Structure 1
Amino acid sequence: MSSYLEKQQRAFKSNVTSAATKVSTKRPNLTAQPESAPSPAPSNASATSKLQKDGKRKRETPNIVYSQPASTGHGNETLTQITYVIDDFLKKKDQPKTIHEIMSWLSQSNVEEAKKRLIVKILKLHDRVKWIPDPNLKVQTWDSGTFLYLPLIDVRSKNELISHLQTRADARGVLVKDLKDGWPNCEDAIDELEAEHRILVTRTKKDNHARMVWSNDPSLVHKVDQEFKNMWAGIQLPSVDDLVRQLQEAGQKPASEDPSKRVKGPLKPKEKKKKAPRKGGKVTNAHMAHLLKDYDKSKK
């Protein structure tokens, strides 16, 4: 037993000795380091993700907000300024204004005279502006007189409205929205005139606002006695269905009957037309009758 152990011990030592001779005894120089160590090469996965991110960034568009420019004035073009002057100045003020007041409102009092003359010329030719000459001057200058907004209907009081309706040549009504162009708070006056029976008014179903007005004669309005009203209220009329049934029983056609609701009988199927038998033509070759005769007995 001891001899076997000794053999194993000697074999182990010999293997260790042979393996030690193959190991290199040189140690690496740990103190010597390169001045700039190269960065490790990126892996394929990291390079691919970076390309994808760069690609997405290139495709992304910046969020540009398109908004209206800030209101810094009344425009620089002459026609734009004319629109502002008529709608926002003359119409709202509802008073005659001179050209100097208009240019001051536009913040352009110091512009050249040629532009002022151009604005004056356009305002005098505009169909919604009335130029009032200066009564104190015998000869008008280019900047004299005042400008007044001219509405669609030049009415601003109850008496003017009655006069306008009575002088109309046609029987058409007047739109309330046209009255509001020069008389914004006309609804109260319309309600008062309607209560006095001086005008006729049609109103909207939703808000009960005045829509159109006509002239009315208050002398044609007669008061109905309360006794007659009570008598009329006591009459009970039959329902519409009863009226229709009674008229139909009497053999009359009610005017209130809806043609689309009439009960129609069942539709009859259309009969197919039978084709008529084809008639033979006139036989001209009688000498060949024995050849053209049909001997088939199955045919009737």
Structure 2
Amino acid sequence: MSFLKANSSSRINAPSPTPSNTSASGAKRKRPAEGASTVVYSQPQDQGTGEHVYTRLTYATDYLRGHPTEWMTFDDIMGFLNVPPGNIQREQLRALMRADNLGNRISWNARDETYRYKPKLNIRNAAQLKGYLQNQKSAQGLAIKDLKDGWTTVADDIKAMEDKKEVLVKRTKDGVPKTVWDNDPSIMYPMDPEFMNEWHKIAIPPNPDDLRNTLINVGLTAASQPRQIITGSKGKKKRTMRRGGKQTNTHMAHILKERTPR
């Protein structure tokens, strides 16, 4: 079994764990001189956290959201973002803040070069809310969370409008306002106390079946009464005799002649 032994000449040496200074061609590599400057190739321009132009646009949007009623100058916003004059991102941010698209949440006033946050609904106070509700074509309510996007004190202001009966408010179980509708206090009249007393004197049976039976006894139909489907038996349809059509074969008249049933 000597042929199973590995030949020393065909043995493959394992690679050395330390790099060799000899190149593939056999020539020795030269070590770099001490103190020599190494060549650094192209690297990303923005390596710091929060220095990307779109990240700074998000910071600017959040900053304006915190001051929804104020118009700010471009220099004030750049000062908040710590973008100095001459930085290439200033013009990039200026173009992004002026962009007319759905993703941009910043309004731009071209007359004095000022900017303000653009909320989902352009409503920032009670007067604007009342005008919006009165001018809309439907009586659909508005979500408080959408109003809060550009109106930070909406909860307190809605409570004041509700006390004046200017709006109708739907609240959660915890008392948090959820939806608001328009209300006209001019069509709200006080109820006569005598009528209210007579109304509350009417006792409603606790059992729904008793209430339904009471309505049926006085000749009224209860809304909870089950619908009755009247099914009538139809009589057997009388079989009709089939009559022949126009006779063209006169020689077969005695065959096609209608016979009376016995």
User: Do the two structures share a fold, i.e. TM-score over 0.5?
Assistant: yes
C-alpha displacement of 1:235: 1.8
Name the residue aligned to 1:120: 94
CA deviation map 1:76-102 (0-9, x unaligned)? 211111111102x11102322222211
C-alpha displacement of 1:246: 2.6
> What TM-score does the superposition give when structure 2 sets the normalisation length?
0.59
Query: Do the aligned partners of 2:83 and 2:89 also contact (CA within 8 Å) in 1?
Result: no
Name the residue aligned to 1:102: 77
Identity within the alignment, %: 32
C-alpha displacement of 1:187: 1.5
C-alpha displacement of 1:157: 1.9
**Counterpart Cα distance in 2 of 1:182 and 1:117:** 27
* SS of 2:91 mapped into structure 1: helix
Name the residue aligned to 1:130: 107
Structure-to-structure mapping, 1:285-296, within 5 angstroms: none
Larger Rg computed on CA atoms: 1
C-alpha displacement of 1:171: 2.3
Name the residue aligned to 1:214: 181
Gaps of 5+ in 2: 1-47, 228-262
AA at the equivalent of 1:119: L
C-alpha displacement of 1:245: 6.9
**Counterpart Cα distance in 2 of 1:217 and 1:198:** 6
* SS of 2:175 mapped into structure 1: coil
AA at the equivalent of 1:179: L
Q: Which has the higher helix share?
A: 1
CA deviation map 1:5-50 (0-9, x unaligned)? xxxxxxxxxxxxxxxxxxxxxxxxxxxxxxxxxxxxxxxxxxxxxx
Query: Do the aligned partners of 1:128 and 1:149 also contact (CA within 8 Å) in 2?
Result: yes
> Given the superposition, is the C-alpha separation of residues 155 and 74 from structure 1 closer, same or farther in structure 2, using an over 3 Å criterion?
farther
* SS of 2:151 mapped into structure 1: coil
Aligned residues: 176
**Counterpart Cα distance in 2 of 1:245 and 1:197:** 37
* SS of 2:64 mapped into structure 1: helix
Query: Do the aligned partners of 1:197 and 1:216 also contact (CA within 8 Å) in 2?
Result: yes
Name the residue aligned to 1:168: 136
**Counterpart Cα distance in 2 of 1:129 and 1:74:** 23
C-alpha displacement of 1:181: 0.7
**Counterpart Cα distance in 1 of 2:226 and 2:156:** 42
**Counterpart Cα distance in 2 of 1:232 and 1:248:** 18
Say which of 85, 91, 99 aligns to 2:65. 91
* SS of 2:170 mapped into structure 1: strand
Name the residue aligned to 2:114: 146
Name the residue aligned to 1:155: 123
Gaps of 5+ in 1: 1-72, 136-144, 260-300
* SS of 1:187 mapped into structure 2: helix
Name the residue aligned to 1:230: 197
Name the residue aligned to 1:77: 52
Structure-to-structure mapping, 1:40-79, within 5 angstroms: 75-79=50-54
**Counterpart Cα distance in 2 of 1:207 and 1:241:** 31
Structure-to-structure mapping, 1:261-280, within 5 angstroms: none
C-alpha displacement of 1:253: 8.6
> What TM-score does the superposition give when structure 1 sets the normalisation length?
0.52
Query: Do the aligned partners of 1:128 and 1:150 also contact (CA within 8 Å) in 2?
Result: yes
> Given the superposition, is the C-alpha separation of residues 243 and 74 from structure 1 closer, same or farther in structure 2, using an over 3 Å criterion?
farther
C-alpha displacement of 1:240: 2.4
CA deviation map 1:176-202 (0-9, x unaligned)? 111111111112221222222221222
Query: Do the aligned partners of 2:212 and 2:224 also contact (CA within 8 Å) in 1?
Result: no
> Given the superposition, is the C-alpha separation of residues 107 and 238 from structure 1 closer, same or farther in structure 2, using an over 3 Å criterion?
same
* SS of 2:145 mapped into structure 1: helix
CA deviation map 1:240-276 (0-9, x unaligned)? 24526736996999644799xxxxxxxxxxxxxxxxx
When the two chains are superposed, the root-mean-square deviation of aligned CA atoms in Å is 2.9
Query: Do the aligned partners of 2:106 and 2:118 also contact (CA within 8 Å) in 1?
Result: yes
